């Protein structure tokens, strides 16, 4: 790839929240960004694609289009998520909810990430480079939100770890990202100053997560992180990244969840 060519990124679930922030930050860093969503909307200056990630053929078509239009893929950010029908928040116990919640929270929140990663690797491995990053959370380390939320996030961490093992030597890296509390538009509009004991002022802007992803993609030490979970707040602090105000360094949440990360496993 010549120095004047843009690198190519695909961000799933890019219409709002973390996905929109990541897509925006990558665009601002000079990437050519494709984004998927059920609405087919995304940040200005990105290529917004209407995709149902429960449809494997539709997902395959996205990767075929990117390969046809650009000839490569340098970054996949797995971020798509779907809530079950009638889901109004993580307020009920698992035994009070229908078993069909699995189909959304695991079928999209975990399976769709695997499907996208397969297609991404099929492009990245032959080209000898690329990063597959999946947005996870500290719900892998302690109870957070719900049983199925924890299952899905822990599955993403284990997926990145095992993919890292099988990608070793290919030039492609797989990581999962532990995000902290995110300063979404909904959270900011609530007027809350803290949520679940965490400061909203010191939470992560969605674009902050994108700046972390962009820095990871440029990091010469990236191969050493293959298969790891990466705490976005900690990585950002270590690399001089801040929130949108240019000064705030988001708080890490590691201590509140008893340490970590899960992967790679502790050796002592």
| 114: number of Cβ within 10 Å | 14
CA 65, 71, 77, 83: dihedral to nearest 10 degrees? 10
Q: Which residues contact 187 (CB under 8 A, 6 or more apart)?
A: 181, 195, 200, 203
State how far Cα 144 lies from the chain centre: 17
**Which is catalytic among the residues 34, 95, 114, 149?**
149
Q: Closest by alpha carbon to 40, among 78, 14, 9?
A: 14
Three-state DSSP state, 143: coil
Confirm if 136 and 176 have CB atoms less than 8 A apart: yes
Angle at 29 between CA 25 and CA 33, to 5 degrees: 70
**Which of the 8 DSSP states describes residue 83?**
P
Q: Which tokens belong to 32? A: 């050519």
> In whole angstroms, what is the distance from residue 54 CA to residue 17 CA?
20
Tell me whether residue 149 is one of the annotated catalytic residues.
yes
Q: How many residues does the chain have?
A: 268
Give me the phi and psi of 116, to 5 degrees please: -65, -40
Three-state DSSP state, 204: strand
> In whole angstroms, what is the distance from residue 58 CA to residue 66 CA?
13
Residues serving a catalytic function are 149
């Amino acid at each position: 790839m010549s120095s004047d060519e843009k690198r190519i990124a695909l961000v799933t679930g890019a219409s709002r929240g973390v996905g929109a922030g990541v897509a925006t930050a990558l665009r601002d860093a000079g990437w050519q960004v494709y984004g998927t969503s059920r609405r087919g909307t995304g940040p200005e200056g990105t290529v917004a694609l209407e995709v149902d990630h429960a449809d494997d053929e539709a997902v395959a078509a996205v990767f075929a289009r990117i390969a046809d239009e650009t000839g490569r893929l340098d970054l996949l950010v797995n971020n798509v998520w779907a809530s079950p029908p009638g889901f109004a928040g993580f307020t009920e116990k698992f035994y009070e909810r229908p078993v069909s919640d699995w189909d959304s929270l695991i079928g999209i929140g975990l399976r769709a990430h695997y499907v996208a990663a397969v297609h991404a690797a099929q492009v990245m491995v032959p080209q000898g480079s690329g990063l597959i990053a999946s947005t996870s959370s500290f719900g892998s380390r302690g109870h957070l939100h719900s049983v199925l939320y924890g299952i899905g996030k822990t599955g993403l961490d284990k997926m990145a770890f095992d993919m890292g093992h099988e990608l070793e030597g290919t030039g492609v890296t797989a990581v999962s990202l532990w995000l902290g509390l995110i300063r979404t538009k909904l959270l900011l509009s609530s007027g809350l100053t803290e949520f679940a004991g965490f400061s909203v002022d010191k939470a992560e802007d969605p674009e902050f997560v994108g700046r972390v992803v962009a820095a990871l993609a440029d990091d010469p030490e990236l191969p050493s992180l293959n298969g790891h979970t990466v705490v976005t707040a900690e990585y950002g602090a270590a690399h001089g990244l801040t929130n949108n105000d240019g000064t705030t360094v988001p708080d890490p949440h590691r201590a509140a969840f008893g340490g970590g990360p899960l992967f790679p496993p502790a050796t002592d």
